Every structure is written in C-alpha cells, then in structure tokens.
Amino acid sequence: MNTPIKVLLYEDNRDLREGISFLLQATAGLDLRAALPHVNNIRTDLAAHQPDVVLMDINMPGMTGLEALPIVKEINPNIQVVLLTVFDDDERIFQALRSGASGYLLKNTPPGEIVQAVFDVHKGGSPMTSTVARKVLQFFQQPVKPIVADHDLSARELDILRGLMKGYSYKLIADELGISLDTVRSHIRNVYDKLQVNSKTEAILKAMKEGWVG
C-alpha cells in the first residue's frame, strides 16, 4: 500500500481545522486534499478530491455532518467516514452508525490518535472513543428487557405460544409436543385468557411486542 491515503477534513472551528490539518499534512502516507469549514458543497468536494477517508465534524453551520454522511455513502460507499464531535448522546451516535459512519471520535481525543484513526479506518478498522464503544455494546446487552413482567404463562403454555409464533397449526403443535389436538386447544384457551386476546394472530402480535419469546 504505497499510494497515500486521500483525506478530506471538515471542521468549522478554524484553530482546530488548522491544527489537525497540520498534523495530517505532516504525516507520511496521508494526502490531505482539502480542509473545509463547511459541508454544503459535499458533492462537488467529493467529485473533485476523490477521498478515501473523510474526517467530519458533526456541528457545522449549514448542513451538519450527520446530514452529509448519507450523501457521502450514497455517492461512494467505499469512502470511510469518521465523525468528530463533542456530542456523545445516544441519539446522535446511533444515527451516525446507522448512516454508515466507520468511526466516531470525541473531540477530546489526542491529535495523534486522530491521525491513527485515519489509518485505522482505511485498513478496515473502526476507531471509536471508548465511551462510544461502550454505548454501542450496551445496545446489544439491553435485550435484558426491563419488563419481563406479567407472563403468568406456564412452561407448557409458552411451548404452545412458541409453536404459534413459528406459524404452526394446532395439529402441527400437537405433533411436535406429542399431545392431542384437544390439549393444544385447551392450552391455547388459557393462553388467550391470560393474554387477553382472542385469536392466534393477536396472541402472536402481543407476544412479539411484549418481547419475550422468540
């Protein structure tokens, strides 16, 4: 990999922009194509500079980095975008990640690591401030839903419900569990009572919305 990495920087704060620019320029292997104060001409910028990596502040006058991100990924999904921001609220982070950001650094990140991050994303990594990473992880762990509440369903009744949620007919469920069709009916009746519904569909929808099972 001898060709330098083409970088585009967006940052409205002049001091910061020039500071980071200086570092990027001074780093071997990087080719800073432009350092711009706003992202309003993102399309022409991209066309003109064909960057490999875009470093982008979120909060800028005019279009924000969050708005520009989908445009970048739409034009060329191979461009790696690293967001640079002072905000670490969940909403912004997840929106950024969903839109295709490859990295998310807080502005208190040491300059050296910002440079490192450029190399990181370019070789397939995802530089993240540790607090951001933690938030992402918590997203996976949260499936420990707060409300495992009521249920009231017995083990067998859950078996039956799971059957329903697989799209099975009563007969199939009966076969699967090795019990009689009438018994399945029996259980289903009780499930309906407890869930306060009166059809297969409602039961399934409720079960899914409620989270438990499946």
Contact flag: residue 101 with its own copies (CB under 8 A): yes
Which one among 41, 154, 169, 180 touches its own copies, defined by CB under 8 A? Answer: 169
The span of 13-21, 93-101, 133-141, 177-185 binding DNA (CB under 7 A) equals 177-185
With CB under 5 to 8 Å by kind, the binding choice for 148 among its own copies, DNA, none is: none
Nearer to DNA, 69 or 184 (CB): 184
Beta carbon of residue 93, minimum distance to its own copies (angstroms, whole number): 10
Stretch that binds its own copies, among 39-47, 53-61, 91-99, 182-190 (CB under 8 A): 91-99
> Can residue 206 be called a binding residue for DNA (CB under 7 A)?
no
Paired tokens of 114: 């910002």
